């Protein structure tokens, strides 16, 4: 018998019987486990169709393809980049005008901050297949007027209107200046914490353009050194209001496109406030705006007259902690409106008449509405996603406007997300669970019946069988203090209950967040699976302050971020350490951003529980972080100095006993590297040994090139050496 063949067969059988393919950091971040999806899927409004951005693997060109909701068949190719030299670098984003006969196409994008970017934009005529460059320079957030004749856009802090027919632009503002005045685009802190960039909106008749003006001249500046490969580093300076410091002075304006005049909305009743949202209603002459006080515990919904710019409060919400801004404000044909609020203790849907009078609460119960999908005027039906079948799950429902006739449209336990057809006859359901890669199906919107599978990622599922992946076990962990917390645990595939295993804990813990969720994993989960292959148990616990279990559970941390969250992680580690198969002397913890803040606090304050910790891009002192986020939960340092100081890890470094790895990107515009530098200095002056890694010019995501591979290998090696 051929010895080499015999050896190969023997090795194969040994691998099948005793082993599993090993996961590596390189294949995690190299795309080995990449799932198939429907990139940039958009449901059209005028036809029962949707679009997807596809890549032709043979030609490497990108295409926006049109599909029919009823049949899922491709109707046509709207545009293919191979036909246009101008789009050689591909399509980054696309939007339609209201008629859906023209498209705005973005390419050659240049990132500014988390959401903002400049790009080259083209107007594409779908029928004529003609591509026209909008301007010779890069711009931000171009948006068609509802009648499709004009495009509003921002450039270098000013706002402009481009006439599609004449191809000429008119300046709406002229006073824009870097680090001083911004028109129609949000400042850094609004973009990061209120999560929007475009701060302008067209009236429904295309005659008026409302916009927010940011005067950030008095906001303190933050500077970062950018190293690149130049002989001398450059300095990037931008306005960043830290907790308790001055914010931008904001004002709301209405521009009349025909008269070329602007009016300022009188908001003189407010002082030191935020305009967290603004949009035109279905009334051509009524603009809405959500105005928050600086403490964010009082929100007014304003209706503003488009001619006089006079404002009136139509809805007010107050909260002893804070009021969450809603993206679910939806105006119906008669200008009555839908609104989501957690004023009864859980996030639910309410309907108000056009004067702001409450008509009825549509959804009720000890569960949360997590997404609002739309309203069918014809059947008076609302479509939404919620946690009705458990806070770690998501399901899709429909309900009548009067709160009756509720129907569950999904029945698979896990995470279901819907994209509805324009006529609400169908929806594409995106489903996954901790054990099921993402599946896309076409469903009817009446009873939720599955009509056809679009993509089930079976190829990925088959590939994963060779790795014999461990499973996530969900459970409720009860601490010694009686707190019941959602949790999951992941054990080695060859788990032996008679052995003692080290445990690596993961958490984020920020207000309203969730890490214990029944959905398909991302790269971190593959990393955790890799660690189980190397003999570790991985666990995750969502402590008090996290989301989707009601306002009381979420807001218990108010004025003292880091107190109850740290207490819960320490208490949870003690419970896990009591399991007979856990080595209680070998428990570690890890987190990124807020999770890094937590991991630092846990290794310091829980020094008798945690053997090691890794903190990536952590806040180390809430005085260093931005005003909007921090003050929402802590008020200002001037008002609440004890809350800031008692729970910031930088003030507990003298307690360090275990092994600690501190990681940060030097170009982090969000959580500044200042946080880690000052933590390092505090550790040094406390004569504490620790490990650290700075990633030059990397932002809060610490990515690009081989960065993630090097980062995760570094963390893996640190775990193996110290846990």
For residue 403, give the CATH number of its domain: 2.120.10.30
Query: Range with the lowest mean pLDDT among 34-48, 188-202, 208-222, 233-247?
Result: 34-48
The total domain count for the chain is 4
Of 440, 456, 472, which residue sits at a domain end?
A: 456
Count CA atoms within 13 Å of residue 699 on its CB side: 10
Q: What is the pLDDT of residues 267-292, one digit of tens each?
A: 999 999 999 999 999 999 999 999 99
**The pair of three-digit structure tokens given for residue 573, joined into one six-digit string:** 């580690």
Provide the phi-psi class of 92: left if phi over 0, else alpha when psi is between -120 and 50, else beta.
Answer: alpha
Average pLDDT over residues 460-489: 95
Give the DSSP per-residue string, 195-262.
Answer: ---B-EEE-TTSSEEEEEEEE-TTSPEEEEEE-TTSSS-EEEEEE--BTTSPPPEEEEEEEETTTTEE
pLDDT band at 19 (very low <50, low <70, confident <90, very high): low
**Same domain for 683 and 593:** yes
Q: Would you say residue 309 has pLDDT above 60?
A: yes
**What single-letter DSSP state applies at residue 651?**
G
Q: What is the pLDDT of residue 60?
A: 82
Active site includes 692?
no
Average pLDDT over residues 199-212: 97
DSSP-derived pairing of the beta strands 311-318 and 298-305: antiparallel
Residue 130: inside a domain: yes
**Percentage of the residues of the chain whose pLDDT score is greater than 70:** 97
Q: What is the pLDDT of residue 628?
A: 98
pLDDT band at 10 (very low <50, low <70, confident <90, very high): very low
Q: What is the pLDDT of residue 291?
A: 98
Q: What is the pLDDT of residues 392-439, one digit of tens each?
A: 999 999 999 999 999 999 999 999 999 999 999 999 999 999 999 999
**Same domain for 83 and 119:** yes
Residue 150: inside a domain: no
**Same domain for 258 and 109:** no
Q: What is the pLDDT of residue 49?
A: 92
| Sign of the alpha-carbon dihedral angle for 438, 441, 443, 447 | negative
**Same domain for 580 and 489:** yes
Q: What is the pLDDT of residues 118-146, one digit of tens each?
A: 999 999 999 999 999 999 999 999 999 99
Query: Are the C-beta atoms of residues 531 and 524 closer than 8 Å to each other?
Result: no
Q: Would you say residue 199 has pLDDT above 50?
A: yes
Active site includes 668?
yes
Instruction: Match 């050659």 to its residue by tokens.
Output: 108
Q: Would you say residue 229 has pLDDT above 80?
A: no
**Same domain for 601 and 705:** yes
Residue 649: inside a domain: yes
Range of the domain at 77: 38-138
**Same domain for 624 and 580:** yes
For residue 563, the SS3 value is helix
pLDDT band at 40 (very low <50, low <70, confident <90, very high): confident
Residue 637, CA distances (Å) to 449, 512, 617, 624 in order: 54, 22, 22, 10
**Same domain for 440 and 350:** yes
Q: What is the pLDDT of residues 497-517, one digit of tens each?
A: 999 999 999 999 999 999 999
**Percentage of the residues of the chain whose pLDDT score is greater than 90:** 91
Q: What is the pLDDT of residue 522?
A: 67
CATH of the domain at 684: 3.40.50.1820
Q: What is the pLDDT of residue 16?
A: 45
Mean of the per-residue pLDDT values for the chain? 94
Q: What is the pLDDT of residue 451?
A: 95
User: Long-range contact list for 339-348, CB < 8 A, 24+ apart?
Assistant: 339/301, 339/315, 340/369, 340/372, 341/317, 342/368, 342/550, 342/551, 343/317, 343/319, 345/550, 345/551, 345/552, 346/550, 346/551
Residue 625: inside a domain: yes
Residue 26: inside a domain: no
CATH of the domain at 292: 2.140.10.30
**Same domain for 490 and 419:** no
Nearest to 214 by CA among 180, 189, 246, 241: 180
**Same domain for 439 and 558:** no
For residue 373, the SS3 value is strand
Q: What is the pLDDT of residues 255-270, one digit of tens each?
A: 999 999 999 999 999 9
**666 vs 660: CA distance, rounded Å:** 19
Residue 2: inside a domain: no
Of 415, 435, 456, which residue sits at a domain end?
A: 456
Q: Would you say residue 11 has pLDDT above 70?
A: no
Q: Would you say residue 6 has pLDDT above 90?
A: no
Average pLDDT over residues 675-686: 98
The vertex-22 CA angle with 660 and 665, nearest 5°, equals 35
**The pair of three-digit structure tokens given for residue 624, joined into one six-digit string:** 């260093």
Of 456, 490, 521, which residue sits at a domain end?
A: 456
Q: What is the pLDDT of residues 343-401, one digit of tens each?
A: 999 999 999 999 999 999 999 999 999 999 999 999 999 999 999 999 999 999 999 99
Q: Which of 668, 669, 672, 699 is catalytic?
A: 668
For residue 307, the SS3 value is coil
Q: Would you say residue 94 has pLDDT above 60?
A: yes
DSSP-derived pairing of the beta strands 501-506 and 140-144: unpaired
Query: Are the C-beta atoms of residues 306 and 285 closer than 8 Å to each other?
Result: yes
Q: Which helix (H) or strand (E) holds 379?
A: none
Q: Which of 145, 206, 432, 593 is catalytic?
A: 593
Q: Would you say residue 301 has pLDDT above 90?
A: yes
DSSP-derived pairing of the beta strands 102-111 and 93-96: antiparallel
Q: What is the pLDDT of residues 167-177, one digit of tens each?
A: 999 999 999 99
Residue 152: inside a domain: no
Q: Which of 348, 652, 664, 700 is catalytic?
A: 700
**Same domain for 413 and 398:** yes
**Same domain for 488 and 633:** yes
**Same domain for 467 and 447:** no
Residue 411: inside a domain: yes
Active site includes 700?
yes
pLDDT band at 4 (very low <50, low <70, confident <90, very high): very low
């Amino acid at each position: 018998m051929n010895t080499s063949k015999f050896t190969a067969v023997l090795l194969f059988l040994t691998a099948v019987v005793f082993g599993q393919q090993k996961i590596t950091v390189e294949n995690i971040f190299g795309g080995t486990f990449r799932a198939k999806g429907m990139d940039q899927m958009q449901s059209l409004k005028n036809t029962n169709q949707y679009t997807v951005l596809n890549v032709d693997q043979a030609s490497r060109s990108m295409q926006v393809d049109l599909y029919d909701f009823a049949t899922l068949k491709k109707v046509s190719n709207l545009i293919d980049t191979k036909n246009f030299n101008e789009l050689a670098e591909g399509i980054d984003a696309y939007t339609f005008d209201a008629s859906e006969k023209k498209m705005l196409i973005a390419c050659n994008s240049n990132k500014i901050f988390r959401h903002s970017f400049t790009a080259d934009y083209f107007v594409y005529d779908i029928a004529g297949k003609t591509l026209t460059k909008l301007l010779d320079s890069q711009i931000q957030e171009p948006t068609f007027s509802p009648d499709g004749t004009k495009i509003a856009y921002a450039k270098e802090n000013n706002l402009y209107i481009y006439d599609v027919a004449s191809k000429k632009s008119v300046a709406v503002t002229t006073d824009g200046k870097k680090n001083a005045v911004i028109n129609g685009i949000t400042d850094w802190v609004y973009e990061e914490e209120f999560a929007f960039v475009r701060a302008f909106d067209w009236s429904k008749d295309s005659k008026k353009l409302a916009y927010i003006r940011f005067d950030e001249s008095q906001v303190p500046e933050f500077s970062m050194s950018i190293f690149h490969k130049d002989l001398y580093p450059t300095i990037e300076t931008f306005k960043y209001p830290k907790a308790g410091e001055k914010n931008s002075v904001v004002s709301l304006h209405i521009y009349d496109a025909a008269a070329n005049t602007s009016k300022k909305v009188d908001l003189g009743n407010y002082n030191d406030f935020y305009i967290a949202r603004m949009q035109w209603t279905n009334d051509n002459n009524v603009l809405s705006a959500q105005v928050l006080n600086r403490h964010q515990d009082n929100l007014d919904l304003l209706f503003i007259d488009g001619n006089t710019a006079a404002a009136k409060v139509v809805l007010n919400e107050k909260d002893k902690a804070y009021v969450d801004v809603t993206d679910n404000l939806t105006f119906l044909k008669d200008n009555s409106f839908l609104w989501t609020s957690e004023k009864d203790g859980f996030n639910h849907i309410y309907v108000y008449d056009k004067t702001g009078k409450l008509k009825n609460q549509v959804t009720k119960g000890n569960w949360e509405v997590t997404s609002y999908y739309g309203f069918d005027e014809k059947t008076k039906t609302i479509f939404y996603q919620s946690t009705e079948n458990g806070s770690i799950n998501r399901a899709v429902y429909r309900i009548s406007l009067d709160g009756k006739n509720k129907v569950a449209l999904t029945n698979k336990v896990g995470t279901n997300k819907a994209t509805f057809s324009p006529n609400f006859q169908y929806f594409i359901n995106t489903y996954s669970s901790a054990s099921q890669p993402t599946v896309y199906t076409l469903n009817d919107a009446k009873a939720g019946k599955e009509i056809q599978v679009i993509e089930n990622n079976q190829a990925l599922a088959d590939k994963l069988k060779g790795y014999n992946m461990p499973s996530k076990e969900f459970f409720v962990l009860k601490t010694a203090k009686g707190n019941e917390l959602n949790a999951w645990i992941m054990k080695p595939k060859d788990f032996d209950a008679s052995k003692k295993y080290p445990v690596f804990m993961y958490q984020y813990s920020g207000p309203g967040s969730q890490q214990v969720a029944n959905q398909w994993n991302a790269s971190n989960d593959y990393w955790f699976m890799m660690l189980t292959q190397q003999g570790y148990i991985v666990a995750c616990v969502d402590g008090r302050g996290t989301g989707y279990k009601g306002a009381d559970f979420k807001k218990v941390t108010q004025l003292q971020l880091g107190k109850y969250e740290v207490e819960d992680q320490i208490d949870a580690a003690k419970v896990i350490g009591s399991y007979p198969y856990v080595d209680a002397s070998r428990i570690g913890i890890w987190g990124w951003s807020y999770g890094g803040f937590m991991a630092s606090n846990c290794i310091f304050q829980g020094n008798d529980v945690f053997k090691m910790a890794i903190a990536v891009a952590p806040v180390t002192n809430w005085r260093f972080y931005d005003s909007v986020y921090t003050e929402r939960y802590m008020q200002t340092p001037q008002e609440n100095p004890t809350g800031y100081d008692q729970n910031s890890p930088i003030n507990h470094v003298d307690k360090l006993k275990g092994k600690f790895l501190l990681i940060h990107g030097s170009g982090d515009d969000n959580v500044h590297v200042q946080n880690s530098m000052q933590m390092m200095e505090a550790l040094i002056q406390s004569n504490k040994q620790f490990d650290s890694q700075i990633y030059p010019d990397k932002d809060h995501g610490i990515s690009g090139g081989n960065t993630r591979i090097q980062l995760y290998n570094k963390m893996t090696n640190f775990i193996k050496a110290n846990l």
